[in-house]
Amino acid sequence: MNHADLREELVASDEEYRRLYQEHQDYERRLDELNHRSLLSQDDEIEEKRIKLHKLALKDRMEVIVRSYADQRVAV
């Protein structure tokens, strides 16, 4: 099973992963909104940086869960 399949399975079966995934998607939508503006205010730029940091932290945590889940499947 590849990482994409594992991610789909975790979205369906793991509450923490699903919550992290949804939060990541919400941040992605907000970044899209900011990127469609012609000119960002200083507050918008600060928010954009904050969102990118949060997204990266979420992605890192999600990857830890995927790896742990993959390792458990191999060990079984």
> 5-14: per-residue pLDDT in tens?
899 999 999 9
Chain length of the chain? 76
- pLDDT band for 72, please (50, 70, 90 cuts): confident
- pLDDT band for 46, please (50, 70, 90 cuts): very high
For tokens 């594992």, what's the residue? 6
Give, as one character, the DSSP assignment of residue 41: -
| Residue 32 scores a pLDDT above 90 | yes
pLDDT for position 21 = 97
Give per-residue pLDDT as tens, 58-68: 999 999 999 99
* pTM score of the predicted model: 0.86
Q: How far is Cα of residue 36 from the mean position of the Cα atoms in its chain?
A: 21
